[in-house]
């Protein structure tokens, strides 16, 4: 399908688009709104910070997200789950396309850069990751959380299959992703709920468009 490939290219050029075309007068600082909604509540996830936990959550943040996108697509394609593959491809595309206007016009900076009592643990612990990520993400695109939306999307799709071990991986991986984005000082609680809502919405749309064929009556 062409659309997911175009969305992937768009995601890689997102930071460049923002730097070239989005002047400060053209977007709204959404961080102020998020702060007004939840204040510094997210700091409770950093009440206890341990280096080993930071390493584990950083690994989970990067690996579970990539697995949810890449492995889900590979499994569905390999086992010829055509309807589910189309749904997942559409969900992947819609998640990003719906989030894109917010990324361009409603900038929400990471919690670790906006609150004095929250640290951006991932970027402090791994400065090389920081330099790589900032090439494609200016770190003010937190709302909604695509990490949360994409992993939940994968789970919603895979729960209709018989791949028990992979479903278990995603079922366990989703709450880990939610905790990791909050513990690492990346996302706000509001971002997480927005990501969850986005996943359920795109799942409903994809399921409405790509319907399973009726079971023939004997």
Instruction: Give the distance, in angstroms, between the CA of residue 64 and the centroid of all CA atoms in the same chain.
Output: 11
Q: What is the pLDDT of residue 5?
A: 80
pLDDT in tens, 16-27: 777 666 655 567
- Domain residues of the chain, as ranges? 45-209
Torsion from C-alpha of 36, 39, 41, 42, nearest 10 degrees: 80
**Straight-line distance from the first to the last Cα atom of the chain, in angstroms, rounded to the nearest whole number:** 35
**DSSP helix/strand/coil, 141:** strand
Alpha helices in the chain (DSSP H): 2-12, 14-21, 30-38, 51-78, 82-105, 111-114, 121-125, 127-133, 146-158, 164-183, 189-209
Find the angle CA(127)-CA(132)-CA(136) to the nearest 5 degrees. Answer: 135
Kindly give the confidence (pLDDT) of every residue in the chain, 218 residues in length, as a single tens digit, with 9 standing for 90 and above. 688 788 877 777 776 777 666 655 567 889 999 999 999 999 999 999 999 999 999 999 999 999 999 999 999 999 999 999 999 999 999 999 999 999 988 999 999 999 999 999 998 888 888 777 777 677 889 999 999 999 999 999 999 899 999 999 999 999 999 999 999 999 999 999 999 999 999 999 999 999 876 544 44
**Measured distance CA(155)–CA(167) in Å, rounded:** 7
pLDDT in tens, 136-171: 677 889 999 999 999 999 999 999 899 999 999 999
**Measured distance CA(140)–CA(90) in Å, rounded:** 25
DSSP lists the bridge partners of residue 29 as 107
């Amino acid at each position: 399908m062409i659309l997911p490939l175009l969305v992937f290219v768009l995601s890689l050029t997102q930071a460049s688009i923002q730097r070239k075309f989005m002047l400060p007068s053209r977007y709204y600082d959404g961080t102020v709104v998020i702060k007004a909604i939840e204040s510094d509540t997210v700091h409770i996830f950093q009440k206890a910070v341990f280096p080993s936990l930071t390493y584990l959550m950083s690994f989970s943040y990067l690996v579970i997200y990539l697995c949810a996108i890449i492995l889900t697509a590979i499994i569905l394609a390999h086992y010829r789950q055509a309807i589910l593959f189309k749904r997942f491809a559409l969900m992947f595309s819609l998640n990003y396309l719906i989030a894109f206007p917010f990324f361009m016009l409603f900038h929400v900076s990471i919690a670790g850069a906006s609150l004095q009592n929250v640290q951006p643990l991932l970027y402090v612990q791994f400065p090389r990751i920081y330099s790589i990520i900032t090439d494609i993400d200016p770190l003010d695109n937190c709302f909604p959380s695509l990490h949360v939306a994409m992993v939940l999307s994968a789970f919603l799709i895979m729960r209709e299959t018989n791949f028990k071990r992979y479903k278990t991986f995603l079922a366990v991986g989703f709450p880990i992703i939610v905790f990791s984005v909050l513990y690492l000082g990346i996302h706000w609680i509001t971002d997480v709920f927005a990501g969850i809502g986005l996943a359920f919405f795109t799942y409903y749309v994809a399921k409405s468009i790509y319907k399973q064929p009726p079971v023939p009556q004997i």
